[in-house]
Structure 1
Protein backbone atom coordinates (compact mmCIF):
# COMPACT_ATOMS: atom_id res chain seq x y z
CA UNK A 1 0.00 0.00 0.00
CA UNK A 2 1.26 3.50 -0.88
CA UNK A 3 0.55 6.69 1.11
CA UNK A 4 1.01 10.16 -0.44
CA UNK A 5 1.17 13.68 1.02
CA UNK A 6 1.62 17.05 -0.72
CA UNK A 7 4.80 19.06 -0.04
CA UNK A 8 6.88 21.80 -1.66
CA UNK A 9 10.33 23.36 -1.42
CA UNK A 10 11.77 26.64 -2.72
CA UNK A 11 15.21 26.53 -4.33
CA UNK A 12 16.88 29.16 -6.49
CA UNK A 13 13.68 31.20 -6.60
CA UNK A 14 11.73 28.22 -8.00
CA UNK A 15 8.95 26.43 -6.14
CA UNK A 16 8.81 22.67 -6.53
CA UNK A 17 5.51 21.09 -5.51
CA UNK A 18 5.37 17.32 -5.24
CA UNK A 19 3.85 14.35 -3.51
CA UNK A 20 5.89 12.23 -1.15
CA UNK A 21 4.70 8.73 -1.94
CA UNK A 22 5.53 6.19 0.73
CA UNK A 23 5.77 2.45 0.42
CA UNK A 24 7.19 -0.27 2.61
CA UNK A 25 8.85 -1.77 -0.45
CA UNK A 26 11.34 1.09 -0.75
CA UNK A 27 14.60 1.29 1.21
CA UNK A 28 15.87 4.61 -0.21
CA UNK A 29 14.43 7.89 -1.51
CA UNK A 30 13.99 8.16 -5.29
CA UNK A 31 13.36 11.50 -7.01
CA UNK A 32 12.24 11.84 -10.63
CA UNK A 33 11.35 14.82 -12.80
CA UNK A 34 9.07 14.69 -15.82
CA UNK A 35 6.66 16.80 -17.83
CA UNK A 36 4.09 16.24 -15.08
CA UNK A 37 6.39 17.58 -12.35
CA UNK A 38 8.47 16.14 -9.50
CA UNK A 39 7.82 12.72 -7.99
CA UNK A 40 9.35 11.55 -4.71
CA UNK A 41 9.20 7.92 -3.56
CA UNK A 42 10.24 7.23 0.03
CA UNK A 43 10.32 4.38 2.55
CA UNK A 44 7.26 4.32 4.79
CA UNK A 45 9.38 4.63 7.96
CA UNK A 46 11.33 7.76 6.90
CA UNK A 47 9.95 10.99 8.42
CA UNK A 48 9.05 14.04 6.33
CA UNK A 49 11.95 16.23 7.47
CA UNK A 50 14.55 13.70 6.39
CA UNK A 51 12.86 13.23 3.02
CA UNK A 52 12.59 16.99 2.48
CA UNK A 53 16.25 17.37 3.43
CA UNK A 54 17.21 14.89 0.72
CA UNK A 55 15.05 16.73 -1.82
CA UNK A 56 16.64 20.09 -0.89
CA UNK A 57 20.11 18.64 -1.45
CA UNK A 58 18.99 17.84 -4.99
CA UNK A 59 17.81 21.43 -5.57
CA UNK A 60 20.42 22.32 -8.19
CA UNK A 61 19.72 19.09 -10.05
CA UNK A 62 15.96 19.78 -9.92
CA UNK A 63 16.53 23.24 -11.41
CA UNK A 64 18.52 21.79 -14.30
CA UNK A 65 15.95 19.08 -14.96
CA UNK A 66 13.04 21.51 -14.81
CA UNK A 67 14.82 23.89 -17.22
CA UNK A 68 15.44 21.02 -19.63
CA UNK A 69 11.76 20.03 -19.70
CA UNK A 70 10.70 23.67 -20.00
CA UNK A 71 13.01 23.96 -23.02
CA UNK A 72 10.98 21.33 -24.84
CA UNK A 73 7.77 23.30 -24.40
CA UNK A 74 5.32 20.57 -23.37
CA UNK A 75 4.40 16.93 -23.48
CA UNK A 76 5.83 14.90 -26.37
CA UNK A 77 3.33 13.91 -29.02
CA UNK A 78 2.15 10.33 -29.37
CA UNK A 79 2.90 8.90 -32.78
CA UNK A 80 1.36 5.75 -34.29
CA UNK A 81 3.72 5.61 -37.32
CA UNK A 82 0.88 4.89 -39.73
CA UNK A 83 -0.02 6.26 -43.15
CA UNK A 84 -1.36 9.80 -43.06
CA UNK A 85 0.58 10.99 -40.01
CA UNK A 86 2.45 14.28 -40.27
CA UNK A 87 6.17 14.62 -39.60
CA UNK A 88 8.48 17.60 -40.01
CA UNK A 89 11.86 18.18 -41.61
CA UNK A 90 13.50 21.62 -41.38
CA UNK A 91 10.08 23.04 -40.59
CA UNK A 92 8.29 21.54 -43.60
CA UNK A 93 5.44 19.06 -43.19
CA UNK A 94 5.66 15.58 -44.67
CA UNK A 95 2.95 12.93 -44.80
CA UNK A 96 3.94 9.38 -43.97
CA UNK A 97 2.93 6.71 -46.48
CA UNK A 98 3.48 3.02 -45.76
CA UNK A 99 4.03 0.87 -48.84
CA UNK A 100 3.73 -2.96 -48.60
CA UNK A 101 6.99 -4.51 -49.81
CA UNK A 102 7.83 -8.19 -49.39
CA UNK A 103 11.57 -7.40 -49.70
CA UNK A 104 11.57 -4.77 -46.92
CA UNK A 105 13.77 -6.54 -44.38
CA UNK A 106 14.43 -3.09 -42.88
CA UNK A 107 12.36 0.04 -43.44
CA UNK A 108 14.37 2.67 -45.31
CA UNK A 109 12.60 6.01 -45.57
CA UNK A 110 12.62 8.00 -48.80
CA UNK A 111 11.42 11.61 -49.13
CA UNK A 112 9.41 12.10 -52.31
CA UNK A 113 8.00 15.59 -52.62
CA UNK A 114 6.12 16.21 -49.38
CA UNK A 115 5.79 12.49 -48.58
CA UNK A 116 7.87 10.13 -46.46
CA UNK A 117 7.61 6.74 -48.16
CA UNK A 118 8.15 3.79 -45.80
CA UNK A 119 8.33 0.27 -47.30
CA UNK A 120 7.12 -2.35 -44.79
CA UNK A 121 6.56 -6.08 -44.85
CA UNK A 122 2.91 -6.83 -45.67
CA UNK A 123 0.72 -8.62 -43.13
CA UNK A 124 3.20 -7.95 -40.32
CA UNK A 125 2.13 -7.42 -36.72
CA UNK A 126 1.15 -3.78 -36.15
CA UNK A 127 3.60 -3.29 -33.25
CA UNK A 128 6.49 -4.71 -35.29
CA UNK A 129 5.54 -2.51 -38.22
CA UNK A 130 5.42 0.62 -36.03
CA UNK A 131 8.83 -0.17 -34.54
CA UNK A 132 10.30 -0.65 -38.03
CA UNK A 133 8.90 2.66 -39.30
CA UNK A 134 10.05 4.54 -36.21
CA UNK A 135 13.55 3.09 -36.59
CA UNK A 136 13.60 4.00 -40.28
CA UNK A 137 12.53 7.58 -39.61
CA UNK A 138 15.10 7.97 -36.85
CA UNK A 139 17.85 6.71 -39.17
CA UNK A 140 16.73 9.13 -41.92
CA UNK A 141 16.63 12.12 -39.56
CA UNK A 142 20.03 11.32 -38.04
CA UNK A 143 21.58 11.16 -41.49
CA UNK A 144 20.16 14.60 -42.33
CA UNK A 145 21.30 15.99 -39.00
CA UNK A 146 24.84 14.76 -39.70
CA UNK A 147 24.63 16.47 -43.07
CA UNK A 148 23.38 19.87 -41.84
CA UNK A 149 24.60 20.43 -38.28
CA UNK A 150 28.39 20.54 -38.86
CA UNK A 151 27.94 22.99 -41.77
CA UNK A 152 25.77 25.32 -39.70
CA UNK A 153 28.23 25.05 -36.80
CA UNK A 154 31.08 26.08 -39.11
CA UNK A 155 29.21 29.19 -40.27
CA UNK A 156 28.35 30.22 -36.72
CA UNK A 157 31.91 29.58 -35.52
CA UNK A 158 33.21 31.84 -38.30
CA UNK A 159 30.85 34.57 -37.11
CA UNK A 160 32.17 34.16 -33.55
CA UNK A 161 35.78 34.05 -34.76
CA UNK A 162 36.48 30.64 -33.23
CA UNK A 163 37.53 27.28 -34.70
CA UNK A 164 34.68 25.05 -35.81
CA UNK A 165 33.72 22.93 -32.80
CA UNK A 166 33.40 19.15 -33.03
CA UNK A 167 29.71 18.32 -33.46
CA UNK A 168 28.17 15.05 -32.33
CA UNK A 169 24.59 14.06 -33.13
CA UNK A 170 23.03 12.40 -30.10
CA UNK A 171 19.76 10.85 -28.97
CA UNK A 172 18.44 12.75 -25.96
CA UNK A 173 14.80 13.44 -25.19
CA UNK A 174 15.18 16.25 -22.65
CA UNK A 175 17.31 18.91 -24.34
CA UNK A 176 18.24 20.21 -27.76
CA UNK A 177 21.96 20.62 -27.28
CA UNK A 178 24.90 20.91 -24.92
CA UNK A 179 28.54 21.99 -24.92
CA UNK A 180 31.16 20.45 -22.66
CA UNK A 181 34.25 22.05 -21.14
CA UNK A 182 36.37 20.91 -24.10
CA UNK A 183 34.14 22.84 -26.51
CA UNK A 184 32.48 19.77 -28.01
CA UNK A 185 28.91 20.41 -29.11
CA UNK A 186 26.23 17.72 -28.85
CA UNK A 187 22.99 18.20 -30.74
CA UNK A 188 19.74 16.26 -30.54
CA UNK A 189 18.96 14.62 -33.89
CA UNK A 190 15.31 15.66 -33.45
CA UNK A 191 16.37 19.29 -33.89
CA UNK A 192 16.62 18.71 -37.66
CA UNK A 193 12.81 18.63 -37.72
CA UNK A 194 12.73 22.33 -36.74
CA UNK A 195 13.02 25.27 -39.17
CA UNK A 196 16.63 26.18 -39.92
CA UNK A 197 16.53 29.50 -37.98
CA UNK A 198 15.75 27.49 -34.84
CA UNK A 199 18.49 24.97 -35.62
CA UNK A 200 20.88 27.90 -35.94
CA UNK A 201 19.72 29.29 -32.59
CA UNK A 202 20.52 26.09 -30.71
CA UNK A 203 23.90 25.76 -32.41
CA UNK A 204 24.71 29.43 -31.74
CA UNK A 205 23.68 29.03 -28.10
CA UNK A 206 26.00 26.08 -27.62
CA UNK A 207 28.84 27.69 -29.61
CA UNK A 208 28.67 30.77 -27.38
CA UNK A 209 29.28 28.47 -24.42
CA UNK A 210 32.75 27.79 -25.85
CA UNK A 211 33.59 31.39 -24.96
CA UNK A 212 31.24 31.86 -21.98
CA UNK A 213 30.66 28.68 -19.98
CA UNK A 214 27.59 29.88 -18.08
CA UNK A 215 24.47 31.94 -18.65
CA UNK A 216 25.95 35.18 -17.42
CA UNK A 217 25.08 38.60 -18.80
CA UNK A 218 28.18 38.37 -21.01
CA UNK A 219 26.89 35.13 -22.50
CA UNK A 220 23.54 36.63 -23.51
CA UNK A 221 25.20 39.78 -24.88
CA UNK A 222 27.51 37.63 -26.99
CA UNK A 223 24.57 35.62 -28.32
CA UNK A 224 22.64 38.80 -29.07
CA UNK A 225 25.63 40.19 -30.98
CA UNK A 226 25.56 37.36 -33.51
CA UNK A 227 21.80 36.72 -33.36
CA UNK A 228 19.83 39.86 -32.42
CA UNK A 229 16.48 38.05 -32.69
CA UNK A 230 17.47 35.07 -30.53
CA UNK A 231 14.60 35.69 -28.07
CA UNK A 232 12.04 35.33 -30.85
CA UNK A 233 13.70 32.09 -31.91
CA UNK A 234 13.62 30.79 -28.33
CA UNK A 235 9.91 31.53 -28.11
CA UNK A 236 9.23 29.78 -31.42
CA UNK A 237 11.20 26.73 -30.34
CA UNK A 238 9.35 26.64 -27.03
CA UNK A 239 6.03 26.68 -28.86
CA UNK A 240 6.77 23.82 -31.25
CA UNK A 241 9.45 21.83 -29.45
CA UNK A 242 7.15 19.23 -27.93
CA UNK A 243 5.76 18.45 -31.40
CA UNK A 244 9.21 17.19 -32.44
CA UNK A 245 9.71 14.73 -29.55
CA UNK A 246 8.65 11.14 -30.12
Structure 2
Protein backbone atom coordinates (compact mmCIF):
# COMPACT_ATOMS: atom_id res chain seq x y z
CA UNK A 1 0.00 0.00 0.00
CA UNK A 2 1.24 3.50 -0.83
CA UNK A 3 1.75 6.00 1.94
CA UNK A 4 0.58 9.41 0.80
CA UNK A 5 1.84 12.56 2.47
CA UNK A 6 0.81 16.15 1.88
CA UNK A 7 4.37 17.17 1.03
CA UNK A 8 4.09 14.91 -2.04
CA UNK A 9 1.56 17.33 -3.53
CA UNK A 10 2.16 19.35 -6.66
CA UNK A 11 -0.17 22.35 -6.76
CA UNK A 12 -1.08 24.35 -9.85
CA UNK A 13 -3.29 27.44 -9.81
CA UNK A 14 -5.17 28.60 -12.90
CA UNK A 15 -8.35 30.34 -14.06
CA UNK A 16 -10.50 27.30 -13.44
CA UNK A 17 -13.73 27.27 -11.45
CA UNK A 18 -13.31 24.13 -9.37
CA UNK A 19 -10.57 22.13 -7.69
CA UNK A 20 -9.33 18.95 -9.36
CA UNK A 21 -7.20 16.03 -8.21
CA UNK A 22 -4.95 13.99 -10.52
CA UNK A 23 -2.83 10.94 -9.71
CA UNK A 24 -0.15 9.86 -12.20
CA UNK A 25 3.17 8.05 -12.21
CA UNK A 26 4.77 11.40 -11.36
CA UNK A 27 2.73 11.78 -8.16
CA UNK A 28 -0.33 13.67 -6.95
CA UNK A 29 -1.29 16.98 -8.52
CA UNK A 30 -3.94 19.43 -7.40
CA UNK A 31 -5.28 21.96 -9.89
CA UNK A 32 -7.07 24.77 -8.10
CA UNK A 33 -8.62 28.15 -8.92
CA UNK A 34 -6.34 31.14 -8.45
CA UNK A 35 -6.58 32.35 -4.85
CA UNK A 36 -7.47 29.00 -3.29
CA UNK A 37 -5.81 28.82 0.13
CA UNK A 38 -3.26 26.16 1.03
CA UNK A 39 -5.37 25.22 4.05
CA UNK A 40 -8.42 24.55 1.89
CA UNK A 41 -6.36 22.49 -0.55
CA UNK A 42 -4.94 20.38 2.28
CA UNK A 43 -8.41 19.83 3.74
CA UNK A 44 -9.72 18.80 0.32
CA UNK A 45 -6.83 16.40 -0.26
CA UNK A 46 -7.17 14.82 3.19
CA UNK A 47 -10.86 14.18 2.51
CA UNK A 48 -9.78 12.24 -0.58
CA UNK A 49 -6.87 10.40 1.05
CA UNK A 50 -8.43 6.92 0.75
CA UNK A 51 -9.12 7.46 -2.95
CA UNK A 52 -5.58 8.79 -3.47
CA UNK A 53 -4.06 5.73 -1.79
CA UNK A 54 -6.03 3.42 -4.09
CA UNK A 55 -5.03 5.41 -7.17
CA UNK A 56 -1.36 5.43 -6.20
CA UNK A 57 -1.47 1.68 -5.67
CA UNK A 58 -3.14 1.21 -9.06
CA UNK A 59 -0.48 3.37 -10.76
CA UNK A 60 2.29 1.37 -9.08
CA UNK A 61 0.71 -1.92 -10.15
CA UNK A 62 0.53 -0.71 -13.74
CA UNK A 63 4.16 0.42 -13.58
CA UNK A 64 5.16 -3.06 -12.42
CA UNK A 65 3.33 -4.58 -15.42
CA UNK A 66 5.34 -2.66 -18.04
CA UNK A 67 7.43 -4.99 -20.22
CA UNK A 68 11.15 -4.92 -19.44
CA UNK A 69 13.91 -4.68 -22.02
CA UNK A 70 16.24 -7.14 -20.30
CA UNK A 71 18.15 -10.27 -21.25
CA UNK A 72 15.90 -13.30 -20.91
CA UNK A 73 12.68 -11.28 -20.64
CA UNK A 74 9.77 -11.90 -23.01
CA UNK A 75 8.58 -9.03 -25.21
CA UNK A 76 5.62 -9.01 -27.59
CA UNK A 77 6.27 -8.17 -31.23
CA UNK A 78 2.93 -7.71 -32.99
CA UNK A 79 1.49 -9.59 -30.01
CA UNK A 80 3.80 -12.62 -30.24
CA UNK A 81 6.06 -13.09 -27.22
CA UNK A 82 9.75 -13.41 -28.01
CA UNK A 83 12.64 -13.98 -25.60
CA UNK A 84 15.14 -11.11 -25.59
CA UNK A 85 18.81 -11.94 -26.12
CA UNK A 86 21.17 -8.99 -25.83
CA UNK A 87 24.76 -9.42 -27.01
CA UNK A 88 27.80 -7.41 -28.07
CA UNK A 89 28.46 -7.16 -31.80
CA UNK A 90 30.50 -5.01 -34.22
CA UNK A 91 27.26 -3.45 -35.50
CA UNK A 92 24.05 -2.61 -33.67
CA UNK A 93 20.75 -4.04 -34.84
CA UNK A 94 17.89 -6.41 -34.12
CA UNK A 95 17.32 -9.84 -35.64
CA UNK A 96 13.86 -11.28 -35.14
CA UNK A 97 13.43 -15.04 -34.98
CA UNK A 98 10.28 -17.09 -34.42
CA UNK A 99 10.76 -17.25 -30.66
CA UNK A 100 13.71 -14.94 -30.03
CA UNK A 101 14.57 -11.29 -30.44
CA UNK A 102 18.34 -10.87 -30.75
CA UNK A 103 19.45 -7.34 -29.95
CA UNK A 104 23.05 -6.61 -30.99
CA UNK A 105 24.78 -3.59 -29.48
CA UNK A 106 28.29 -2.18 -29.69
CA UNK A 107 28.35 -1.53 -25.96
CA UNK A 108 26.37 -2.86 -23.00
CA UNK A 109 24.66 0.37 -22.07
CA UNK A 110 20.93 0.41 -21.26
CA UNK A 111 20.31 3.66 -23.12
CA UNK A 112 22.07 2.24 -26.15
CA UNK A 113 20.02 -0.96 -25.94
CA UNK A 114 16.81 1.08 -25.75
CA UNK A 115 17.87 3.18 -28.75
CA UNK A 116 18.55 0.09 -30.87
CA UNK A 117 15.22 -1.47 -29.91
CA UNK A 118 13.36 1.80 -30.50
CA UNK A 119 14.90 2.10 -33.97
CA UNK A 120 13.79 -1.46 -34.70
CA UNK A 121 10.18 -0.75 -33.67
CA UNK A 122 10.16 2.48 -35.68
CA UNK A 123 11.50 0.68 -38.74
CA UNK A 124 8.85 -2.03 -38.34
CA UNK A 125 6.10 0.59 -38.03
CA UNK A 126 7.31 2.28 -41.23
CA UNK A 127 7.15 -1.07 -43.03
CA UNK A 128 3.65 -2.01 -41.87
CA UNK A 129 1.51 1.03 -41.12
CA UNK A 130 1.75 2.96 -44.43
CA UNK A 131 0.50 -0.13 -46.29
CA UNK A 132 -2.41 -0.44 -43.87
CA UNK A 133 -3.21 3.25 -44.31
CA UNK A 134 -3.11 2.85 -48.08
CA UNK A 135 -5.34 -0.23 -47.97
CA UNK A 136 -7.89 1.31 -45.58
CA UNK A 137 -8.04 4.75 -47.18
CA UNK A 138 -8.56 3.16 -50.60
CA UNK A 139 -11.38 1.03 -49.20
CA UNK A 140 -13.09 4.19 -47.90
CA UNK A 141 -12.22 6.26 -50.99
CA UNK A 142 -10.17 8.62 -48.81
CA UNK A 143 -6.73 8.12 -50.39
CA UNK A 144 -6.74 11.70 -51.66
CA UNK A 145 -7.03 12.96 -48.07
CA UNK A 146 -3.78 11.34 -46.86
CA UNK A 147 -1.09 14.04 -46.93
CA UNK A 148 1.58 12.51 -44.73
CA UNK A 149 2.28 9.69 -42.26
CA UNK A 150 4.54 10.34 -39.30
CA UNK A 151 5.69 8.29 -36.32
CA UNK A 152 6.25 9.58 -32.81
CA UNK A 153 6.34 8.05 -29.36
CA UNK A 154 3.84 9.94 -27.24
CA UNK A 155 2.70 9.32 -23.67
CA UNK A 156 -1.03 9.73 -24.09
CA UNK A 157 -1.95 8.95 -27.73
CA UNK A 158 -1.60 5.94 -30.00
CA UNK A 159 -2.61 7.87 -33.09
CA UNK A 160 -3.58 11.31 -34.33
CA UNK A 161 -5.09 12.91 -37.43
CA UNK A 162 -5.00 16.58 -38.41
CA UNK A 163 -7.31 18.75 -40.51
CA UNK A 164 -4.68 18.71 -43.25
CA UNK A 165 -4.75 14.91 -43.49
CA UNK A 166 -1.52 14.19 -41.66
CA UNK A 167 -1.63 10.91 -39.75
CA UNK A 168 0.62 10.20 -36.78
CA UNK A 169 1.20 6.88 -35.04
CA UNK A 170 3.01 5.83 -31.88
CA UNK A 171 5.54 3.19 -32.98
CA UNK A 172 5.18 1.34 -29.66
CA UNK A 173 1.96 -0.06 -31.17
CA UNK A 174 4.25 -2.58 -32.93
CA UNK A 175 4.21 -4.53 -29.68
CA UNK A 176 0.41 -4.93 -29.83
CA UNK A 177 -1.34 -7.71 -31.77
CA UNK A 178 -1.76 -7.06 -35.50
CA UNK A 179 -5.55 -6.76 -35.15
CA UNK A 180 -5.01 -3.88 -32.70
CA UNK A 181 -2.65 -2.16 -35.15
CA UNK A 182 -5.23 -2.53 -37.92
CA UNK A 183 -7.94 -1.14 -35.67
CA UNK A 184 -5.82 1.88 -34.78
CA UNK A 185 -5.14 2.59 -38.43
CA UNK A 186 -8.84 2.26 -39.27
CA UNK A 187 -9.70 4.70 -36.49
CA UNK A 188 -7.27 7.37 -37.68
CA UNK A 189 -8.13 6.94 -41.37
CA UNK A 190 -11.83 7.42 -40.53
CA UNK A 191 -10.84 10.75 -38.97
CA UNK A 192 -9.86 11.88 -42.46
CA UNK A 193 -13.61 12.14 -43.12
CA UNK A 194 -14.88 12.98 -39.63
CA UNK A 195 -12.42 14.79 -37.38
CA UNK A 196 -14.56 14.07 -34.32
CA UNK A 197 -16.16 11.17 -32.46
CA UNK A 198 -19.70 11.70 -33.69
CA UNK A 199 -22.17 8.93 -34.42
CA UNK A 200 -21.34 9.32 -38.12
CA UNK A 201 -17.67 8.69 -37.32
CA UNK A 202 -18.35 5.52 -35.33
CA UNK A 203 -20.73 4.27 -38.02
CA UNK A 204 -17.92 4.62 -40.56
CA UNK A 205 -15.49 2.83 -38.21
CA UNK A 206 -17.93 -0.07 -37.85
CA UNK A 207 -18.12 -0.55 -41.61
CA UNK A 208 -14.44 -1.57 -41.76
CA UNK A 209 -13.72 -2.57 -38.16
CA UNK A 210 -16.83 -4.15 -36.61
CA UNK A 211 -14.81 -5.34 -33.60
CA UNK A 212 -13.35 -1.92 -32.82
CA UNK A 213 -14.77 -1.97 -29.27
CA UNK A 214 -12.72 -5.07 -28.47
CA UNK A 215 -9.57 -3.34 -29.73
CA UNK A 216 -10.40 -0.20 -27.77
CA UNK A 217 -10.84 -2.32 -24.63
CA UNK A 218 -7.55 -4.15 -25.28
CA UNK A 219 -5.62 -0.88 -25.41
CA UNK A 220 -7.33 0.37 -22.28
CA UNK A 221 -6.42 -2.81 -20.35
CA UNK A 222 -3.01 -3.63 -21.83
CA UNK A 223 -1.75 -0.45 -23.49
CA UNK A 224 0.27 0.69 -20.47
CA UNK A 225 2.38 -2.49 -20.62
CA UNK A 226 3.91 -1.32 -23.90
CA UNK A 227 5.35 1.89 -22.42
CA UNK A 228 8.93 0.62 -22.22
CA UNK A 229 10.59 4.02 -22.19
CA UNK A 230 10.23 6.94 -19.81
The question of a shared fold, defined as TM-score above 0.5 by the shorter chain, is answered with yes
Which residue in 2 is equivalent to 1:202? 184
Q: Structure 1 residues 208 and 108 mapped into 2: Cα distance closer, same or farther (>3 Å)?
A: same
Residue 192 of structure 2 aligns to a residue whose secondary structure is: helix
Q: Give the corresponding residue for 1:171.
A: 153
User: Is 1:192–2:192 an aligned residue pair?
Assistant: no
For residue 144 of structure 1, what is the aligned residue in structure 2? 124
Native 8 Å contact 2:79 2:176 kept in 1:
yes
Q: CA deviation at 1:237?
A: 2.0
Quote the residue 2:21 is aligned against.
Answer: 17
Q: Deviations over 1:15-68 (max 9, x none)?
A: 9435xxxxxxxxxxxxxx7357761378xxx63179x9xxxxxxxxxxxxxxxx
Give 3-state SS (helix, strand or coil) of 1:109's partner: strand
Q: For residues 238 and 3 of structure 1, what CA distance do their matches in structure 2 show?
A: 27
Query: Is contact 1:193-1:244 (8 Å) kept?
Result: yes
Which residues of structure 2 form unaligned runs of 5+? 1-5, 41-61
Map 1:1-246 onto structure 2 (within 5 A). Answer: 16-18=20-22, 34-35=24-25, 39-40=29-30, 47-48=35-36, 75=63, 77-78=65-66, 81-101=69-89, 103-104=90-91, 107-121=92-106, 129-163=109-143, 165=146, 166-246=148-228
The equivalent of 1:64 in structure 2 is: none
Partners in 1 of 2:10 and 2:70 — Cα distance? Answer: 42
The more displaced of 130-139 and 81-90 is: 81-90
The CA deviation at 1:159 is 1.8
Matched position secondary structure for 2:189: helix
RMSD: 3.2
Contact residue 77 and residue 245 of structure 1 kept, 8 A: no
Q: Please give the alpha-carbon distance, in whole angstroms, between the structure 2 residues aligned to 1:5 and 1:16.
A: 12
- Per-residue displacement from partner, 1:77-100 (whole Å, max 9, x unpaired)? 555532101111111111111223
TM-score (norm 1): 0.67
* CA distance, structure 2, for counterparts of residue 36 and residue 136 of structure 1: 26
Q: 1:152: Cα distance to partner? A: 0.5
